[in-house]
């Protein structure tokens, strides 16, 4: 005769599967939100009138510079979080 799983083991298995499904849905939703264009820039650029070659290069250059500035600002905030925030949390 085969051993039956205990009720606690069965409940734990079901709870683990449920938690996995909930986490998967949450991560998927967060990923979709993260890649959504919340600023409307894509729609703005799609509706622009045709630009010349120089105007296109200027637009690309400005976009690249702003992206780099955003990356630098993010890195600076992360540095401050690690360099200042963590020691403050550990000393409190």
45, 11: one domain: no
Q: Does the pLDDT of residue 52 top 70, yes or no?
A: yes
Contact in structure between 35 and 28 (CB atoms under 8 Å): no
* Among the listed residues 29, 59, 32, 34, the one whose alpha carbon sits nearest the alpha carbon of residue 44: 59
* Count of the separate structural domains present in the chain: 2
Please report the pLDDT score of residue 39 as a whole number: 84
Residues 31 and 46 occupy one common structural domain: no
Question: For residue 39, how far is the Cα from the chain centroid?
Answer: 16
**Same domain for 87 and 52:** yes
CA distance linking residue 10 with residue 41, whole number of Å:
50
% of the chain at pLDDT higher than 70: 95
Which residues, in sequence order, are CB contacts of 45 under 8 Å at separation 6+?
A: 59
Q: Which two tokens stand for residue 20?
A: 């996995």
């Amino acid at each position: 005769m085969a051993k039956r799983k205990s009720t606690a083991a069965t409940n734990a298995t079901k709870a683990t599967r449920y938690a996995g499904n909930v986490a998967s849905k949450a991560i998927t939703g967060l990923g979709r939100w993260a890649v959504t264009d919340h600023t409307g820039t894509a729609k703005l650029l799609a509706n622009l009138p045709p630009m010349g070659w120089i105007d296109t290069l200027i637009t690309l250059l400005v976009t690249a510079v702003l992206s780099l500035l955003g990356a630098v600002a993010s890195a600076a905030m992360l540095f401050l979080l690690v360099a200042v925030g963590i020691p403050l949390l550990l000393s409190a």
